[in-house]
């Protein structure tokens, strides 16, 4: 089965610019997650979708971050405007509901200069 696809793999932007990341989950996986992994730290959940709906976005900095999942499949995560501290790897994962089986994508490495 195909894995979780993410693009781009790498992105370098200047602070105050905007950026968007794309994720295509495993077919049939209703639950989709975006995690932020800052260098030297473990991943931290930003937002969780169940189909089109948001289940948990309590740690999403909503003044600058937004995410959507259209038609319960692909998802985009946007940062506008970016700050230096947003430099991190952004991981997308998907799973079946109530499943232990998360599948992670390879991530997008964002560098804000």
Q: C-alpha angle 84/90/92, rounded to 5°?
A: 160
Site residues (vs other proteins, CB under 8 A)? 3-4, 31, 33, 40-45, 48, 55-56, 91, 93, 95, 97-98, 100-107
Spacing of C-alpha 111 from chain mean position = 15
CB of 42 to other proteins, least distance (A): 3
Q: Count CA atoms closer than 13 A to 94's CA, side-chain side.
A: 21
Q: Which is nearer to other proteins, 9 or 15 (CB)?
A: 9
CB of 10 to other proteins, least distance (A): 11
Read off the tokens for 87: 């430099």
Q: Which is nearer to other proteins, 3 or 16 (CB)?
A: 3
CB of 43 to other proteins, least distance (A): 5
Residue whose pair of structure tokens reads 């794309």 in the numeric block: 22
CB of 68 to other proteins, least distance (A): 19
Q: Which is nearer to other proteins, 66 or 106 (CB)?
A: 106
Strand extents, DSSP E, 1-113? 5-7, 10-13, 19-24, 31-37, 44-50, 53-56, 65-69, 75-79, 88-95, 103-104, 108-112
Q: Which is nearer to other proteins, 71 or 97 (CB)?
A: 97
């Amino acid at each position: 089965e195909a894995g979780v696809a993410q693009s781009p793999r790498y992105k370098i932007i200047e602070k105050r610019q905007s950026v968007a990341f794309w994720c295509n989950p495993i077919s049939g996986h209703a639950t989709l997650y975006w995690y932020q992994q800052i260098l030297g730290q473990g991943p931290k959940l930003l937002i969780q979708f169940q189909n089109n709906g948001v289940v948990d976005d309590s740690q999403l900095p909503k003044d600058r971050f937004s995410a959507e999942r259209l038609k319960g499949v692909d998802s985009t995560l946007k940062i506008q405007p970016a700050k230096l501290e947003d430099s991190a790897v952004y991981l997308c994962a998907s799973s079946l509901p109530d499943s232990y089986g998360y599948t992670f994508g390879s991530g997008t490495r964002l560098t804000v200069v």
